Amino acid sequence: MPRKATPADIKSAAAIHDQTLIRGNGGELHQVTEGETEVLTTALGTPVSDDQNTLKIGERGPTLIEDFHFREKIFHFDHERIPERVVHARGYGAHGFFETYESLAKYTRADIFQRPGEKTPAFVRFSTVAGSKGSFDLARDVRGFAVKLYTKEGNWDLVGNNIPVFFIQDAIKFPDVIHSVKPEPDRNFPQAQSAHDNFWDFISLTPESMHMIMWIMSDRAIPRSFRFMQGFGVHTFRFVNADDESIFVKFIWKPKLGMQSVVWNEAVKINGADPDFHRRDLWNAIKSGDFPEWELCVQLFDQDFADDFDFDILDPTKIIPEEIIEPMPVGRLVLDRMPDNFFAETEQVAFMTQNVPPGIDFSNDPLLQGRNFSYLDTQLKRLGSPNFTHIPINAPKCPFHHFQQDGHMAMRNPVGRANYEPNSWGQGPRESPQRGFRSFADAEGGQKVRLRAESFADHYSQARQFYDSQTEPEQRHIAMALTFELSKVETPVIRERMVAHLLNIDDTLAQTVADKLGIRTMPNPADAAMPPRDDLEPSPALSIINNGPNSFKGRKIGVLVGEGADAGLLKKLRQAAKAEGTTVEIIARRVGGVKGSDGDHIEANHMIDGGPSVLFDAVVLLVSEESAEVLAKETAAKDFVSDAFAHLKFIGFVAGAEPLLASAGVAADADEGLIALESAGSVQPFIEACRKLRLWTRESAVKL
């Protein structure tokens, strides 16, 4: 029987494990009993005083390169895997361009933002975080959104995610959070899933993760497509202008097609039907000329705002709500070409947060500082040579000149006698104080310390704000996701610790999760370093449903056809879909297709067994009564209908389809999401209804 969590349980992982075997200095095994804790050391045995914070100048200052414990920890982590990436191993990329709207010379000297209308070549890689290269696309996970811009003054890598915050505040904890979410080392499963003890043990002991947990348990973590998700730079950066004046900046990518996610039951079935769903979607969109597009927006603010804002702008677990600082559009990103070879480009591309052109600079965000330190080491290990910048996908497209030479797989070397600087031969490049990168001359001071700033201590208020900003269906999905994930956790006290944290976010959410998990006695709220606030206004911009698209553009309709399908109605549907920017795909009992009512052949894209409704955003049943009765006897056809209904999709149908609807347990008049296509005039209203994407009022009836 589960026992009630004690304060000691909530504070320390040691309380869960009665005994552990460790290897001592002499190599012998000895037993550590409850109450005895071994001292953490470096690999060479040096005791570690603080494993929570990197060494900085002052509590909010930059990270020091002399931090040997962090260097060793991140160095070892970076070299754990060969040859795939440790994180973001499963990715997919495309080429395109970035077009600048207006000059931002007032704020930054970055060349990319100087000339309106100028187009800069770009390469973007989307990815999941936790899974391996062979995992599936629709895992509940953060999505990487890494953009490489080949500017005229060097490559700029904006290495972000589809979620604007992260699990941790200091990079020294990055190996720990990733270790916890990866397959457990003794059993090597589960793959690409966070629903296991190790992850939730770490999270339940890391209150700073609670804001991120609300995002990762929301629909943001199961996007319908790369094309329908936002991207964020996560950290606070600086713009620096020609006069060396600085302003803070946060970067946001907003999809022109609007945001859309799937529901969890649908995600599970998509992974079974097409584990490459996101990859195929991006490939098909670009190959068909339906180029994905995002708008780059910036939130700009000065030091006075930073000093007065409710939260620390250096804290990567916090956002600045759009209602406080409205994002300003500064350009657009268009993806219009797939790589010629996946390995040569998508697999070998190397992104590094420290790749910034003059005019863009860093803040003292401790997670960003650690990423800057780590990424170069990662690329050296993964690509096998310091000359990975010679690989075409990584090479700049502007002129470059330096004295670096030799090394494994060098493709070019300095020419002439001089391979050093300065030299008296008049050979080679020289530094340029005017054109070169200059860091903003911020004044720093303080002791060398391992401390977390008190301004980083509020771990629950923005988590509560995010939850309060969601619509009722979205809040329900967060509760369902937490329940599912924690139901896979075998250790009761970990589940109780998480419920204790949820009590600091929302009482109803905590009670719902506790009830579903069968927790009979509610724990006390987790100790909070800073009392959670309840006066933060909801931010409507944080809801996907409240920010849905105004059209059905970029989506896909699956049309299930039978022999004698109404050819005129199908033609009208295709015309209306094309005008909307929507794709129509045909599903039949056989890939060979069927004969239409006009005697012409209707070619099918899928057979019913291989084209389930989870692959489409809306469905149409274009079958006669006779063919409907045949399909009604096939499980795949009944699932096609029942899943579309359960996943809240709009269903268009002709009168002859009613036997198939009935066999799937769906009444033709169940709700307004079932639309009878009685004539060609019914098609346009159906398309317009589909613009809502989902009929959320149905969800309480299907109770997935």
Tell me which residues are annotated as active site: 88, 161
Helix (H) or strand (E) holding 333: strand 328-337
The phi, psi pair for 674, rounded to 5°, reads: -100, 115
Name beta bridge partners: 21: 31
Let me know: does 453 contact 59? Beta carbons within 8 Å: yes
Name beta bridge partners: 448: 57
Cα torsion through 608, 611, 616, 619, rounded to 10: -10
Q: What does the alpha-carbon distance between residue 513 and residue 498 come to, in Å, rounded to a whole number?
A: 10
Q: In the numeric block, which tokens belong to residue 674?
A: 């079932």
Q: Please compute, for residue 333, the number of CA atoms within 13 A of its CA located in the half-sphere on the CB side.
A: 25
Q: What does the alpha-carbon distance between residue 478 and residue 476 come to, in Å, rounded to a whole number?
A: 5
Look at residues 393, 394, 250, 225 and name the one whose alpha carbon lies nearest to residue 318: 250
DSSP 84: S
Look at residues 158, 140, 264, 265 and name the one whose alpha carbon lies nearest to residue 213: 140
Strands 651-653 and 674-676: what pairing? parallel
- What SS3 class is residue 160? strand
Let me know: does 594 contact 652? Beta carbons within 8 Å: no
**DSSP per position, 550-568:** SS-TT-EEEEEE-TT--HH
Evaluate the omega torsion of the peptide bond into residue 190 and state whether it is cis, within 30 degrees of 0: yes
Look at residues 552, 547, 548 and name the one whose alpha carbon lies nearest to residue 683: 552
Per-state percent for the chain, helix, strand, coil, to nearest 5: 35, 20, 50
Unique residue bearing structure tokens 């006290």: 493
How far is Cα of residue 591 from the mean position of the Cα atoms in its chain?
35
Q: What does the alpha-carbon distance between residue 704 and residue 688 come to, in Å, rounded to a whole number?
A: 26
Unique residue bearing structure tokens 């052109």: 357
> What is the rounded radius of gyration, in angstroms, for the C-alpha atoms of the chain?
28
Let me know: does 34 contact 18? Beta carbons within 8 Å: yes
Q: In the numeric block, which tokens belong to residue 170?
A: 């200091």
